[in-house]
Amino acid sequence: MDKLTKEQRSRTMSKIRSANTGFEKVIFRQLRNRGLRFRTHYSGVIGKPDIAQPKKRKAVFLHSDFWHGWQLPRWEKTLSSDFWKTKLRKNRERDKKVITNLRRLGWGVVVLWEHSYNKDSGKCIDNIANFLRS
């Protein structure tokens, strides 16, 4: 199963959640337990931030290590297909453009990586809560 057909990739990709993942739900719950109010997957601005406070112009993106290509240059050689290499490179490029554009529009932006949360969840939640409250 070296190479998947376009149809097989499409079926595989359709099963992957892009919103309300387990990672996101845990963070949403922890922030709401601290009394914070925010919108999830806010479509009123470029990039559809996972967490947004539109009136304060604040956005938080929750990036999984694989899908957003954390340290992709170090491990992309382990990917068996050019499809995945291209896909993850494009995801990284898109993320950079979205964050740059939001900041140009006057938005504050924070990115939380999955590995950082797994290493010290309390500190990560504190940092996001402080950002959203400020």
Query: Where do the domains of the chain lie, and which CATH numbers do they carry?
Result: 21-133 (3.40.960.10)
* Residue 123 structure tokens: 């500190």
Q: CA nearest 61: which of 8, 19, 22?
A: 19
What pLDDT does 80 receive? 67
What pLDDT does 65 receive? 72
Contacts of 19 (CB under 8 A, 6+ apart): 40, 41, 50
Q: CA nearest 48: which of 65, 71, 24?
A: 24
Q: With b meaning 16 or more CB within 10 Å and e meaning fewer, what string describes 66-91?
A: ebbbbebeeeeeeeeeeeeeebbeeb
User: pLDDT 10s digit of each residue in the chain, 134 long?
Assistant: 446 566 655 555 444 545 678 889 999 999 999 999 999 999 999 999 999 999 999 999 998 876 656 665 665 667 667 777 777 778 889 999 999 999 999 999 999 989 989 999 999 999 999 999 99
Please tell me the pTM assigned to this model.
0.79
Q: What is the 3-class SS of 60-123, one letter each residue?
A: EEEECCCCCCCCHHHHHHHCCCHHHHHHHHHHHHHHHHHHHHHHHCCCEEEEEEHHHHHHCHHH
